[in-house]
Structure 1
Amino acid sequence: MKFGILLDHQYDRGDDIGRRSGELVEFVQHIRDLGYDSVFGIHHYLSSLSTPQPLPLLSRLIDHSGTMELGTGILILPLGHPVHWAEEIATIDQMSGGRFVLGVGSGYREDEFASFGVERRTRVSRLNESLEVMRKLWSGETVTHHGKHFDLDGVRCSVLPAQQEIPVWVGANGPIGIERIARQGLPWLAPSNVRRNWAVGNLQDYRAHRKDAGFDDTGAVFPIHRDLCVADSFEDAWEIAGGPVRRSYGEYVQYGMDYFESQWEGIKHKALFFGSPDDIAAKVTDFASAGFNHFVFRTQWLDLPIERSMEIVERFAREVMPRFKA
């Protein structure tokens, strides 16, 4: 069982990004010392919030992260060229000593695709072809590739990853996408905002499709994002972080995700990992019994002081994590 942290590096416009980056350095040092296994950054362009880009941010955090895995959760792969991504990611993997995990997704925000001049309807085929090209480049061999979106003629990647194969996790929120990921043999990164039964049910389907495609579960990673607040009770956790988590999810409504408004009560009670240490341990046990084995928790939200986030990760590490790490 592994436990990681998703850094929520989104801030109100005009905030001091230099100061916020310093906070994140201290936060990562804290989770490192508490024994967490991984730390991830998020990715968006042209957001309503000030959102530092994940690859430069993760590069700064390398020397403060100990032996934790570092990665993106997720990188919107269709908005960039695979040559660019391949060299950037190989560089970070080398700098980190082979600790990078590439979490990718196809994206959904219309303004991002329009601003990059990329047709949104091509996002899935771009993602798949980008991964194909990146793997070819990371082989170190001379690459010639003529695909639907990209053309390369006899080129080689100038920087190769430290790892023989960089782990790739793929996010998806629908059955078709989840099945596609399963048949590629890639880990499906389950989203944070879905109810328990949806996450568990889709994991069961994903594993069945994986098996049908000839992949077994030996050494497989089954990751999931969850929002986490550990307190004395659900009510106390909600008092600490309810307003900030609601505001953070509210930012997505303007991008057409009105689910976060209309279905909020269901999300509040059936998706969030909010509650006492016993409550949280029971939730982890439940999801682990279904097959999830790498939990990536978000403990930061808009307006929540970083000191409270540190208290949350510390309480989980002291009162919950040992039950699964013995």
Structure 2
Amino acid sequence: MTSPKTATTGPKTATTGLKVGIVLPGRESVIDDGPYPENLASIAAQAEDLGFDSLWAGESPLARSRMNPLLALTAAATATEHLQLGTAVLMPLRAPVHLAHELACLDRISGGRLIAGIGSGFASPATEKEFANYGLDFTTRLARMRETVEICQALWSARGEPVSYDGQHYHLKDAALLPLPHQPQGPPLWIAHSGPKMLQRAGQHFDGWMPTSTTPEKYGEGWNQVTAARSKADRPDNAVTGAVYLSVAVNRSRKQAEDTLWSYFRAYYNLPLTTMRTTQGIFGGTPQEAADWLGQYVKNGARHLILRLPTDDLTEAGYRTALQRTAHELLPLLRAL
């Protein structure tokens, strides 16, 4: 079987209703000297018990070092039964066949609960250095990401039959992949980019769109372009899930929540909150204020909220406190949306 670069997967239905997920600690768990990594599975189980719909892990081996997302989600898969498990996001650091195999295995281990969030890496000197240390050209990352996605889709949809591929950066000849992913066409592929070309590709080829839009209005503008591209490609209305990745801190007052955000982003990125707000959607306030802000994203098309939970310090105890507070005080308000 030969699969061209335009290989497609079968139809995948997007999520309906509103889902709320949380980001599993990544960088926090390598900065903290305690048994944080050993407890990621129990944190995942706690998130499921508290009523969240999904659990997410990001990737940055060197620039912002954290736990390997696929290994962290494997630990989470063994400790949960219902949570969707997602990457937010994977970068084009792996050979495509290796990535397709890892994702297929995790999809099997989790019983088909995996969502593969894909990105190309934030443009910064630290990320460029990270790619260089992997022996990869940072300037070709978008093209390699596109070919990686096409190869993964072709291998999964071939269901164990040989696949050949001739791209600019990657080539396959009679590659047959096993095990098969649990989901017939492989895990849904969500993209994080917001550039005009990527918005079109999100609507035409991907199963979800999950940016870090700084405002609900910017999210709505992007979502309108995604849906227009989806409609033009004659895909079903529910073919693409509208998701958004946001950082939200809730506390008794806006000032207390803002103080948490300042502490968190200084410790996490060594950058001021004002700088981070130019690239990511970030909010701190009371539960009702946070729900009102998130509700604006929902009004603009978001149906899967992915919440990173900033803490005053990067400790496991701090994260579990934020997890419980978000579940008990914010989650019921989001369910009412």
Which moved further from structure 2: 274-283 or 95-104?
A: 274-283
Mapped contact 1:142–1:156 kept (Cα < 8 A): yes
Match of 1:32 among 37, 48, 66: 48
AA at the equivalent of 1:130: T
After alignment, is 154-163 or 300-309 more displaced?
Answer: 300-309
**Match status 1:56 vs 2:71:** yes
Partners in 1 of 2:319 and 2:19 — Cα distance?
19
Partner amino acid, structure 2, of 1:174: G
Report the counterpart of residue 136 of structure 2 in structure 1: 118
Out of 30, 35, 50, the residue aligned to residue 19 of structure 1 is: 35
Preserved CA contact (<8 Å) 2:31 2:314: no
Q: CA deviation at 1:144?
A: 1.6
1:157 to partner: Cα distance: 0.3
Partner of 2:58: 42
User: Residue 8 of structure 1 contacts residue 300 of structure 1 at CA under 8 Å; is this kept in 2?
Assistant: no
State the distance in 1 between where 2:274 and 2:195 align: 19
Query: Could you tell me which residue of structure 2 aligns to residue 207 of structure 1?
Result: 227
Which residue does 1:2 correspond to in 2?
19
Deviation at 1:302, TM superposition (A): 7.7
Q: 1:74 to 1:322 in 2, by over 3 A?
A: same
Residue deviations 1:177-224, cap 9 Å, x none? Answer: 2233223244221116x2333223222222223222323432631110
Matched, 1:245 2:265: yes
Given that residues 249 and 310 in structure 2 are in contact (C-alpha distance below 8 angstroms), is that contact kept between their aligned partners in structure 1?
no
C-alpha contact 2:192 2:212 (8 A) present in aligned 1: yes
SS for the counterpart of 1:218 is coil
In structure 2, C-alpha distance between the alignment counterparts of 1:174 and 1:157, rounded to whole Å:
32
Alignment match, 2:5: none
SS in 2 for 1:157: coil
Q: Hey, what's the Cα distance between the residues in 2 that align with 1:13 and 1:40?
A: 17
Match of 1:104 among 108, 113, 118: 118
Note if contact 1:3-1:294 (Cα within 8 Å) is conserved in structure 2: yes
The CA distance in 2 between the partners of 1:219 and 1:179, in whole Å, is 14
User: Secondary structure of 2:191's match?
Assistant: strand
1:182 matches 2:207: no
Instruction: Kindly report which structure 2 residues correspond to 1:192-231, keeping only aligned pairs within 5 A, or say none.
Output: 194-218=214-238, 220-231=240-251
Q: 1:277 to 1:36 in 2, by over 3 A?
A: same
Kindly indicate whether the alpha-carbon contact (under 8 Å) linking 1:185 and 1:210 is maintained by their aligned counterparts in 2.
no
**Corresponding residue number in structure 1 for 2:282:** 272
Alignment size in residue pairs: 312
Question: Distance in 2 between the 1:297 and 1:38 partners?
Answer: 10
The ranges of structure 1 where at least 4 consecutive aligned residues each deviate by more than 3 angstroms after the TM superposition are 11-16, 260-264, 323-326
Using the size of structure 2 for normalisation, the TM-score is 0.84
Percent identical across equivalent pairs? 29
Unpaired runs of at least 5, structure 1: 252-259
**Aligned partners of 1:325 and 1:302: how far apart in 2?**
26
* Higher relative helix content: 1
Equivalent residue, structure 2, for 1:128: 146
| 1:211-262 CA distance string (max 9 Å, x none) | 22323432631110111111122112123443113432435xxxxxxxx676
- Equivalent-residue separation in structure 2 for 1:187 and 1:175 (angstroms): 16
8 Å CA contact 2:191, 2:206 repeated in 1:
no
Partners of 1:211 and 1:185 in 2: how far apart? 13
Q: Secondary structure of the equivalent of 1:321?
A: helix
* Residues 26, 57 of structure 2: 8 Å contact kept: yes
Contact between 2:243 and 2:302, CA under 8 Å: does it hold in 1? yes
Determine the C-alpha separation between the residues in 1 that align with 2:206 and 2:44.
Answer: 31
The whole-number CA distance in structure 1 between the counterparts of 2:308 and 2:319 is: 9
Tell whether the 8 Å contact from 1:223 to 1:293 is kept in structure 2 after alignment: yes
SS at match of 1:222: strand
Q: What is the CA-CA distance between 1:28 and the residue it aligns to?
A: 1.6
Worse-superposed segment, 159-168 or 108-117: 108-117
Report the RMSD for the aligned CA atoms in angstroms. 2.5
1:38 maps to amino acid: S
Give, in angstroms, the shift of residue 51 of structure 1. 1.6
